[in-house]
Amino acid sequence: MAVIQVEGLRKTYGDLVAVDGISFQVQEGEVFGMVGPNGAGKTTTIECIEGLRQPDGGVITLLGMDPQKDGYQLHQRIGAQLQEAGLPDRLKVGEAMRLFASFYRHSVEWRSLLEQFGLAEKEKAYFGGLSGGQKQRLFIALALINNPEMVFLDELTTGLDPQARRAMWDLVRNIRGQGKTVFLTTHYMEEAEQLCDRVVVIDRGKIVALDTPAALIRSLGAEKRVAFTLSGSLDLQPFRRVPGVAKVERIGERVVIYGQGEKLLSGVVTILEQANVPFRDLHTEQPTLEDVFLALTGREMRD
Amino acid sequence: MKAFWNLMIAEVKLYLREPVAAFFTIAYAPMMLILFGMIYGNKPEAIFGGLGTMDISVPSYIGLIIVTVGLISVPIDTATNRDKGILRRFRATPLHPEIYLAADVTGNYLMTLIGVLLLVVIGKLAYHIHFSGNWLSVFLGFTLSALAFYALGYLLAALAPTARIAQTVGMVLAFPMMFISGATIPIEVLPHGVRQAANFIPLTHVVTLMRGLWFGDPWSAHLIEVTILVGTLVVSSLLAAHLFRWE
Ligand SMILES: Nc1ncnc2c1ncn2[C@@H]1O[C@H](COP(=O)(O)OP(=O)(O)OP(=O)(O)O)[C@@H](O)[C@H]1O
Ligand SMILES: [Mg+2]
């Protein structure tokens, strides 16, 4: 069942077309990710769905309702972590939780939420005194305070350290495990690959791809790489005859062999052993969502 | 109701945790009273129709507290809440804007009321100030004046592009008003030209109304003040509601 249906969504800011007629659906219980370069229109899209921005065209249905007309009712049932939001500096963490809990008909026990997010000992701390990552965690805790059916996370791990990021991934998996639907945006392709059932790639307000991470990687036909470092000299010609090899590259001591198929690694290793030359740092690199992302959206920087 | 109550408590706590705001709302007027009390005492003066300086200062200083909250605290708080994305975050919840506004107004009103009560109690205890009005009328006049100035404050927040500009404009408006309206220096001792000009600022009408009601004038003696303050309240509220942006 589709919990979000977006049909021809369009949003402009003056002359700028931020979202240019996009359509997609999010299914109940899935983690749906939206990736795209800066300014691609991710926040605009997610906030139109949340009912915080008014679309200029298209139809959005969220949990069977219209976010523009039924905003208050929908906000009882969804949770949102916004890319840009704040709280008063002199409001304490526990006070913020209690305050937000009071906005909803039903709320969960906020102390255990704080504990889950590693903020239990910050209950009496001022919001203004929290670190960037702690603020981020507090906002995600606030997004869950009403035990929502559907959670929106706009850049959930921006500003978090690697430990906190991984802890956050566990929390998202946990949210999914409870049967909730998650709609997230991210700039970290590893995150999208790890967390999302399906990923939509948008660029300049348009959808350029939408599929499971694995299918996206496959569709790109990206090559695996086998790389190693050589100390002596070696004729690279035999590597070109290994089944599946597409390209052999040598930069100084470093050799990278691009190709596909199961035999790639064993073929390369066999040649190395036969040649009996010293080598180190042998490893394979799988194509990742990041390769897909860069292939689809190009390498030049966006505004 | 739960939301209203929690928001209002948060509002009051935040107010008290902001030392500058708390000082100017609660302590400033009583300090001025004590300072001028030490200079002039409360002996009857012909210029005040036989009342003492302290007698007329207490109702006048009510205007001082109202303008501080209305033109300084309300616009700074509101514009800051907008600039920092606090209002945006509230909008993503089922909280209705009317509840936010009601809680905000009530919180500010409570703070104003605390400042006024402290002023009156100190006036009574330290200088035995005269009171010959009706408490209910004074309370209603105070409430009308406060609401009119909060509405001006929200309008200022709606017009100002940033919290900094809201703060600067609020202070530029508030400080001269405090001195030429009779809220700080009795209107009777101001030069004629200043008194003429003072008629064009709303705070003067607050001071006139509060002093009048304090010493027992009937409402019918203050129709001009009431009309101006109700007008300020209605026009500012409508404009603020129309112009206000949540982000
Ligand atoms: N309120 C606004 N007023 C004017 N332009 C806006 C506004 N919000 C976004 N834009 C513009 O619309 C485009 C899309 O912005 P949006 O914030 O949706 O991108 P995004 O994909 O979330 O980017 P990022 O990854 O940097 O968060 C950008 O060019 C941005 O400058
Ligand atoms: Mg964004």
- Nearest atom of ligand 1 to the alpha carbon of A202: 21
Are the CB atoms for B68 and B24 separated by under 8 Å? yes
- Residues 30-89 (B) with a CB less than 8 A from some CB of A: 80-81, 84-86, 88-89
Q: What is the mean pLDDT of residues A25-46?
A: 96
Using alpha carbons, select from B75, B243, B247 the residue that is nearest to residue A84: B247
d(CA B87, CA A159): 22
CB contact under 8 A, B96 and A73: no
Residue with tokens 């930069």: A251
pTM of the model: 0.88
Return the pLDDT at A246.
Answer: 85
How far is C-alpha A15 from the geometric centre of its chain's CA atoms?
Answer: 29
Q: pLDDT tens, B122-178? A: 999 999 999 999 999 999 999 999 999 999 999 999 999 999 999 999 999 999 999
Range ranked top by mean pLDDT from A77-86, A156-165, A166-175, A249-258: A77-86
d(CA A108, CA A113): 8
Q: Which residue has the least CA distance to atom 18 on ligand 1?
A: A41
Nearest ligand atom owner, CA of A82: 2
Ion ligand 2 nearby residues (CB, 5 A) = A 42-43, 83
Which amino acid makes up residue A255? V
CA distance to partner chain A, nearest, from residue B179 (Å): 32
d(CA B138, CA B71): 21
Q: What is the mean pLDDT of residues B205-214?
A: 97
Name the closest residue on chain B to residue A151, using Cα atoms. Answer: B92
CB pairs under 8 A between A and B: 65
d(CA A56, CA A158): 29
Say which CATH superfamily domain A223-286 falls into: YebC, transcriptional regulation domain (3.30.70.980)
What's the topology of domain A2-218? Rossmann fold (3.40.50)
Return the pLDDT at A216.
Answer: 86
Return the pLDDT at A222.
Answer: 65
The interface predicted TM-score (ipTM) is 0.91
Return the pLDDT at A134.
Answer: 92
From-to residues of CATH 3.30.70.980 in chain A: 223-286
Q: What is the mean pLDDT of residues B197-226?
A: 95
Q: Residue A31's beta-bridge partner residues?
A: A182
Q: C-alpha distances in angstroms, B32 versus A135, B52, B62, B166, B173? A: 41, 15, 12, 26, 20
d(CA A226, CA A281): 10
CA distance to partner chain B, nearest, from residue A106 (Å): 11
Percent of chain A residues past pLDDT 90, beyond the cut: 62
Return the pLDDT at B165.
Answer: 96
Closest Cβ–Cβ partner in A73, A82, A98 for B89: A82
- Measured from the Cβ of residue A112, the count of other Cβ atoms closer than 10 Å reads 10
**Residue A284: pLDDT band with limits 50, 70, 90:** confident
Q: C-alpha distances in angstroms, A209 versus A23, A154, A213, A291, B29? A: 12, 19, 10, 13, 65
Within 8 A of B93 by CB-CB distance, chain A residues are: 75, 100, 103-104
Using alpha carbons, select from B4, B159, B152 the residue that is nearest to residue B69: B152
- Residues 224-253 (A) with a CB less than 8 A from some CB of B: none
Q: Is the pLDDT of residue A8 over 70?
A: yes
Q: Is the pLDDT of residue A253 over 90?
A: no
CA distance to partner chain A, nearest, from residue B80 (Å): 9
Q: What is the mean pLDDT of residues A45-72?
A: 96
Name the 3-class secondary structure at B209.
helix
**Residue B7: pLDDT band with limits 50, 70, 90:** very high
Q: Is the pLDDT of residue B44 over 80?
A: yes
Are the CB atoms for A10 and A56 separated by under 8 Å? yes
Answer yes or no: is the C-beta of A52 below 6 A from any ligand 1 atom: no
Average pLDDT value over all residues in chain A: 91
Q: What is the mean pLDDT of residues A65-90?
A: 96
Answer yes or no: is the C-beta of A60 below 6 A from any ligand 1 atom: no
Domain ranges of chain B: 2-243
Q: pLDDT tens, B78-103? A: 999 999 999 999 999 999 999 999 99
A91 interfaces chain B, CB cutoff of 8 Å: yes
Pocket test for ligand 1, best of A42, A49, A152, A188 (most atoms within 8 A of CB): A42
